[in-house]
Every structure is written in structure tokens, then in C-alpha cells.
Amino acid sequence: MLHLRIVCPPERTEAVLGVLRATAGATHLVLLPGAGLDPAGDVVEADVAREAADDVLAQLCAMQLDHDGAITLETIDTSLSDAADRAEADAPGDGADAVVWEELIARTGEESRLTTTFQSFMALACLLAAVGVVTDSPVTIVGAMVVGPEFGPLAAIAVGLVLRRWDLVRRAAFAIAVGFPLAMLVTAGAAALGETGGLFDREVFNGTQHQVDFVYQVGPFSLIVALLAGAAGMLALTSAKSAALVGVFISVTTVPAAGYAAVAAVLGDWGKALESSAQLAVNLAGIVVAAALVLWLRYRRNRFSSPGANGRPLAAG
């Protein structure tokens, strides 16, 4: 269940209540007349089954309440109510399969920005990957995969492409285009200092049969894994199964490839540096393509099965 709170001008309150009363899947309806101070208006609250939320949001946005009032949505972790059970049973479809498009846009939009926190995580992940490379530690490589924040912007690019939100595409692409090179530059500097200080042996890196060589060895399975990971990641985002994202993070070699390329460049092994860069490019492209395809299929399915799916997501700027 999702908790919906609406602040609306008093003259539109009855229309809002009408939408909620007519929605199979809405319950726990509450009206607080005049409770809204900024923006001013009546406050209407309700609990809505996830599979019904998208239609409700589309109708509320059609009333311009996102401009003249406010609409907030949050997840309910626990609801002990027979009325809630009936609402979920009455709502068409299954909550696990429902896509709340406004929630998806807000979530990916927030994670697509080039912020200090994003860049810090990117640099730390690349540094971890570099440590895994010079120590031949697959465990450290996996740690770098988990720490890396790159899936957020990649998912945002896919969302922007499917919903024609070009502002989202530009912002996320900028985060990736700046985030990776800057993190690789920091990693290259750290690798140069490490070699100068004798923290690792160049000969160990140049040896053969390393456990982490898979990081730079690009091939057909690099693309296959990236496509599967992108599909799984978008499915997790759109079905509220966020626990599956961890599996996505540790299945693709984006950050490890960036770290490997930085170390290889510092040590003058341009062959491995180029292969690692190719691995990075293949993984980034594969994730975006698969994520966009999954989202497009879900959008098409939602469009023909739900009257609210043709609304706000495509029109929003």
C-alpha cells in the first residue's frame, strides 16, 4: 500500500474525494478542511493499492494539483486493516507488477544528478577496484561493484529515453560523462603515488593468470551480462523489488573496468587500458539498452491496460 496526501484548493476538494471514492484500491479516506497552510487548502489523505496509484496520480495531476497544491506519496511498510486488505483485493492487477510512473521519474531523477556525494562514491569505488587489481583480489573487486553509484544515472537515461524526458537524459548522461573520467583521474593519481611509494609491484600486475583478469577481458558475455543486469535492474526499480539491485551491482564490471583502465594507464600497459575502457563502454551501453527495452515493454503494457498511463509522464518537461 501507498499513503497519498493531497493539499488542494477548497473548490476542488469534492472532485478529489470523488476520484478517490471511485477508485478500486483506495481506502482510509481522511479529510482535514483548511489544514493546509503552505500551500493553503484542504488536506485529503488516503491509502492506495500500488496497482491503483498511477491512475489516481494521473487524474490528480490533470486537475493541476501538482501546481496549485501538493501531492505526496510514500510507501506503507505495515498496514493492519481489513479495509486495506479489501482495497488491495479490489484493485486490478498485482502490486508487484504495477509501475508508478511519477515515483519512478522522481526516484531516477534524484539519483541522476552529479553531486559531491555521487562523485565521492564513484571515486571511492574506482579506488577500491584499483586495490583489487593490484592485489589480485576478486573480493575487493566485488566490493567496488557494490559501492559504485553508476546504476542510478544509467536507469535515469533509460527512463528519459522511453518517456521522452530529455532533461533527465541530459542530466544523467552528464553525471556519467563527468563522473567516470574524474574518478579514473583520481584513481590514476593514487596508483602513481602507490607505485612510487612501493605499495605494489609492477611485475605482479604484468604477470599472467590473475584472478581479476576478467575485468578487462571484453567479449560476448560482457554484453550478455550487461543486458541481463540492465533488464534485472529496471525490473527491480519498476516493481519495488529493490533488494534485487544488489545482484545487479555485483554482476557488471563498470567501475572495476574503470579502475583497471586507470591502473593500466599509469603502468604503461595501454593494451589492457584500452580493453578495460572497451569493457566499460560495452557494459554501460548494454545496461542502458536493456533497461530501456524492459521499461518500454512495461510502458506499452501499462498504456493499453490502464487509462492513466497516457498522462503525465510523457507530457512532463
What pLDDT, in 10s, does the model give residues 24-75? 899 999 999 999 999 999 999 999 998 888 889 989 999 999 999 999 999 8
Q: What is the Cβ-side half-sphere exposure of residue 59, based on CA atoms within 13 angstroms?
A: 16
Does the pLDDT value for residue 292 go beyond 60?
yes
DSSP H or E run through 69: none
Most distant CA pair in the chain: distance in Å? 76
Dig out the grid coordinates for 265 from the structure. 594507464
- Alpha-carbon distance of 14 to 41, in angstroms, equals 13
- Alpha-carbon distance of 279 to 257, in angstroms, equals 6
- Cross-strand partners of 46: 4
Contacts by 263-272 with C-beta closer than 8 Å and gap 24+? 263/130, 263/133, 263/134, 263/187, 263/188, 263/191, 263/205, 264/205, 264/216, 265/188, 266/188, 266/191, 266/192, 266/195, 267/191, 267/195, 267/202, 267/205, 267/206, 269/205, 269/206, 272/216
Tell me how far CA of residue 188 lies from CA of 9, 85, 122, 126, 207, in angstroms. 57, 56, 14, 10, 20
- Alpha-carbon distance of 107 to 172, in angstroms, equals 12
Sequence-distant (6+) residues with CB within 8 A of 80 are none
Which whole number is the average pLDDT over 295-308? 68
- Alpha-carbon distance of 245 to 264, in angstroms, equals 29
What pLDDT, in 10s, does the model give residues 250-274? 777 899 999 999 999 999 889 999 9
Sequence-distant (6+) residues with CB within 8 A of 185 are 262
Does the pLDDT value for residue 313 go beyond 60?
no
pLDDT band of residue 108 (cuts 50, 70, 90) is confident
Other residues' Cβ atoms within 10 Å of the Cβ of residue 215: 27
Instruction: State pTM to two decimals.
Output: 0.80
Nearest to 266 by CA among 197, 166, 213: 197
Q: What is the CA radius of gyration of the chain?
A: 23
> Is the distance from CB of 108 to CB of 155 less than 8 angstroms?
yes
Does the pLDDT value for residue 311 go beyond 60?
no
Residue type, 315: A
Which whole number is the average pLDDT over 114-139? 93
Tell me how far CA of residue 241 lies from CA of 165, 208, 309, in angstroms. 24, 40, 21
**According to the model, what pLDDT value does residue 213 have?**
82
Nearest to 313 by CA among 173, 75, 106: 106
Does the pLDDT value for residue 314 go beyond 60?
no
